[in-house]
């Protein structure tokens, strides 16, 4: 295993699953060996966002010790490798806490991106504990940033300095600026993803926007961030305006 990167947030619904899928795919396209893992066990939806509705084995089977995690890897048509979590209520009521996460993940190779549950309950804390690197996602609004700050503090108390903050769904001037967010959290913003209607479409099409609309504003920012995290050079495609015009 190269490293485990946790995609976490304080507030729910800020874009962790979207970021996990797109960063994982962009890193894969940069030639890295990557697997995206759904550890949001009680409200899992990474698999759903990618069109994996029914699959024989998921993360919970590996956590239960029934199988090797290597048997729960699926490949999306885009090339993205994913370990989904079952949405069955049986699993959710039986064992929603990933106690064995770290040891189960140790059987995987390459870079592991974890789609985390939001907040600071035990399941989310176990993700923080299992991670080598942490990326904190927020929207540019006070409630989301306040909750992000709590996660950052808890991570720091564990001795883990997060890689940085990703501000997702940036829209207009009626929201917090990058500087304000950095000041509130005492942490750098490493990614700024705009609100993009093609993200919704990509959910409908069950493929990350990095694959569906690689020249869209959000996809370019996802790719830029992925390149920065894995340390590869990235220059955005030329004539983006024209390309966008012709890819509607
Ligand atoms: N940049 C964006 N532009 C437009 N819509 C977005 C963007 N990012 C995410 N969304 C939408 O926001 C919603 C929530 O995103 P997502 O499921 O990734 O959040 P989450 O943090 O994983 O939520 P949860 O905490 O419930 O797991 C989805 O409908 C998604 O399509
Ligand atoms: Mg999610």
Does the beta carbon of 136 lie inside 6 Å of ligand 1? Answer: no
pLDDT of residue 241: 66
The maximal CA–CA distance of the chain, rounded, in angstroms, is: 52
- The domains of the chain, with CATH numbers, are 3-245 (3.40.50.300)
Non-local (6+) Cβ contacts of 51 within 8 A are 76, 206, 207
Does the beta carbon of 168 lie inside 6 Å of ligand 1? Answer: yes
Nearest in space to 14 (alpha carbons), one of 152, 115, 153, 123: 115
Helices 142-157 and 178-185, packing angle to 10 deg? 40
pLDDT of residue 162: 98
Q: Which atom of ligand 1 is nearest to the CA of 115?
A: 22
CA 113 and chain centroid, separation: 6
pLDDT of residue 238: 66
pLDDT of residue 77: 98
Does the beta carbon of 195 lie inside 6 Å of ligand 1? Answer: yes
Q: Is the CB of residue 62 less than 8 Å from the CB of residue 39? A: no
Tokens 């996802």, residue located: 222
pLDDT of residue 168: 98
Q: What is the pTM of this model?
A: 0.96
Q: Is the CB of residue 219 less than 8 Å from the CB of residue 209? A: yes
Residue 176 C-alpha to ligand 1 middle, in angstroms?
18
Return averaged pLDDT per consecutive 10 residues of the chain, 248 residues in all.
Answer: 94 98 98 98 95 95 94 98 92 80 96 97 96 98 98 98 98 96 98 97 98 96 98 80 64
Does the beta carbon of 199 lie inside 6 Å of ligand 1? Answer: yes
pLDDT of residue 89: 85
Of the listed ligands, the closest to the CA of 13 is 1
Does the beta carbon of 118 lie inside 6 Å of ligand 1? Answer: yes
Residue 123 C-alpha to ligand 2 middle, in angstroms?
13
pLDDT of residue 245: 64
Mode of pairing for the β-strands spanning 74-75 and 81-83: antiparallel
Joined tokens for residue 72: 């729960």
pLDDT of residue 93: 75
pLDDT of residue 244: 64
């Amino acid at each position: 295993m190269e490293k485990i990167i946790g995609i976490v947030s304080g507030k729910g619904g800020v874009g962790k699953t979207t970021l996990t899928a797109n960063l994982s795919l962009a890193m894969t396209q940069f030639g890295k060996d990557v697997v995206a893992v759904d550890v949001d066990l009680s409200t899992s939806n990474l698999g759903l966002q990618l069109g994996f509705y029914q699959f024989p084995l998921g993360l919970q089977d590996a956590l239960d010790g029934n199988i090797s995690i290597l048997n729960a890897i699926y490949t999306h048509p885009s090339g993205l490798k994913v370990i989904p979590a079952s949405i069955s209520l049986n699993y959710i009521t039986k064992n929603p806490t990933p106690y064995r996460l770290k040891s189960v993940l140790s059987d995987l190779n390459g870079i592991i991106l974890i789609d985390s549950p939001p907040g600071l309950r035990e399941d989310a804390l176990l993700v923080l504990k299992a991670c080598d690197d942490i990326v904190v996602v927020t929207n540019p609004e006070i409630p989301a940033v306040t909750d992000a700050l709590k996660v950052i503090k808890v991570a720091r108390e564990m001795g883990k300095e997060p890689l940085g903050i990703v501000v997702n769904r940036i829209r207009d001037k009626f929201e917090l600026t990058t500087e304000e967010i950095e000041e509130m959290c005492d942490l750098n913003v490493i990614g700024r993803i705009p609100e993009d209607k093609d993200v919704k479409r990509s959910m409908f099409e069950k493929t990350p926007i990095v694959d569906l609309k690689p020249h869209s504003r959000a996809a370019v920012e996802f790719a830029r961030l992925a390149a920065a995290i894995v340390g590869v050079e990235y220059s955005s495609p030329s004539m983006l305006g024209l390309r966008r015009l012709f890819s509607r």
